[in-house]
Amino acid sequence: MKYTEIMVRYGELSTKGKNRKRFIQQLAKNIRLALVDFPKIKIIAERDRTHLLLNGEDSDLLIPELKKVFGIQSFSPVVRVEKDLEEMKKMAVSIVREQFFEGMTFKITSKRSDHDFELDTTGLNQFLGSAVFNKVEGIQAKMKKPDLDLRVEVRMDAVYFSFETIKGAGGLPVATSGRGMLMLSGGIDSPVAGYLAMKRGVELEMVHFASPPYTSAGALQKAKDLTQKLTVFGGNIQFIEVPFTEIQEEIKAKAPEAYLMTITRRMMMRLTDKIRQMRKGYVIINGESLGQVASQTLESMQAINDVTTTPVIRPVVTMDKLEIIELSQKIDTFEISIQPFEDCCTIFSPASPKTRPNLELTREYEARLDIEGLIERAIAGLKISEITPLGEVGNVRLEDEFEDLL
Ligand SMILES: Nc1ncnc2c1ncn2[C@@H]1O[C@H](COP(=O)(O)OP(=O)(O)OP(=O)(O)O)[C@@H](O)[C@H]1O
């Protein structure tokens, strides 16, 4: 079937009152980004629906891309015909013939916004229904749950036929909920956490801690590759590399072995929060899952979270590892995540970290460090680059980004 248009239905954003316009505009922008390889498409964003005029583009190729755009509840490929009863009859018969199988049932559901059209909806249902019944041998009409529900919409300019409803990604359009900093390791969990935050409309920026020479260029590239995978859900993402070597060496030298992990995580949290403030973000997102490792007990989470009052969203916190893995396979990050590169945390992690760190002791041991100086130097060494669906597009100069903050 040569479709002429795709009709997009909104999900939750329909309930957003006066913000609705902003949501719809952002969705249109995100659709444009997702369909960048289809330049002929014209997007018409309206209050209740968005229409994608295909202008000759192949719907089979763009449907998989459209399925990844958050904020779309469902969409239907549509064929346009002139407002002429003979043309409409031909189209109805040809669609049903194309879809026909032995014993198939059908109905026609008409709708019209052009109230001057020569037939009303009942008349149209009867007219097109009997045409199909007479021309397609073996077909039966059925009003409740037919195999094929042919929807016919008479608008002011033309008539539109559709019969297929494809499920969209749901959620909210990326960037309608504000900006959040994702603490991205090279593991399985944090990219999944990022994906889930994007699904609720968060615009992500990645914060990745690297400790060269203990961590390799490969580990850094892995985090960038994971970021690239997530760009397909919401466009370009800023990748912020934080130099973490000095901090890890300092903690190792000054803190007791059992508290290395807790203090390291607190420093990561402080730095992420500082970067969030500089980048005008609202939340921190991480890939912690309750009980998975020593740093992810409730006691550890409390001791780590103690350094900030910024909301920390943990989208995978209640998920089992297998559920997280399943999702990482679905979003195509799993194969990258399992590449064997060391994360900065694993390299310095003690053989038996405290699973129930004492908060008072944590603060006491940490006081041995020059926290402010360490943070200042790490912030001065940030490297920011932009990751696009095609890869990295070079480093953004620090001075350009933070000119009024430094
Ligand atoms: N090098 C890093 N850079 C940025 N964030 C990190 C880094 N290492 C860990 N994190 C953050 O801390 C969280 C917990 O990390 P940890 O290694 O303990 O657990 P994990 O369950 O293996 O997580 P992941 O699979 O995301 O690596 C990660 O999900 C991530 O959000």
Query: ipTM value of the model?
Result: 0.98
pTM: 0.89
Which residue positions form the known binding site? Answer: 183-184, 208-209, 265, 287, 296
Strand partners, 240: 207, 384
CATH of the structural domain 83-157, one choice from 3.10.20.30, 3.30.2130.30, 3.90.420.10, 3.20.20.70 = 3.30.2130.30
Reading the chain (406 residues) residue by residue, the pLDDT tens digits are 789 999 999 987 656 677 888 899 999 999 999 998 999 999 999 988 999 999 999 999 999 999 999 999 999 999 999 999 999 999 999 999 999 999 999 999 999 999 999 999 999 999 999 999 999 999 999 999 999 999 999 999 999 999 999 999 999 999 999 999 999 999 999 999 999 999 999 999 999 999 999 999 999 999 999 999 999 998 899 999 999 999 999 999 999 999 999 999 999 999 999 999 999 999 999 999 998 777 789 999 999 999 999 999 999 999 999 999 999 999 999 999 999 988 877 777 777 888 899 999 999 999 999 999 999 999 999 999 999 988 887 655 444 444 443 3
Which residue type, as a one-letter code, is found at position 33? L
Rounded Cα distance between 117 and 46, Å, is 22
The enclosing H or E element of 93 equals helix 85-99
User: Is residue 343 in contact with ligand 1, taking CB distance under 6 Å?
Assistant: yes
- Centre of ligand 1 to C-alpha 47, Å, is 41
Whether the Cβ atoms of residue 23 and residue 16 lie closer than 8 Å to each other: yes
- What stretch(es) of the chain map to CATH 3.40.50.620? 179-400
Q: Domain spanning 1-81: which CATH class is it, in words? A: alpha beta
- Centre of ligand 1 to C-alpha 287, Å, is 6
Whether the Cβ atoms of residue 69 and residue 172 lie closer than 8 Å to each other: no
Pairing of strands 105-112, 140-141: parallel
The closest alpha carbon to 23, from 158, 167, 216, 175, belongs to 175
Rounded Cα distance between 74 and 7, Å, is 9
User: Is residue 287 in contact with ligand 1, taking CB distance under 6 Å?
Assistant: yes
The 3-state DSSP class for residue 45 equals strand
- What stretch(es) of the chain map to CATH 3.30.2130.30? 1-81, 83-157
CATH of the structural domain 179-400, one choice from 2.20.28.120, 3.40.50.620, 3.30.1340.30, 3.30.390.10 = 3.40.50.620
The closest alpha carbon to 237, from 197, 270, 267, belongs to 197
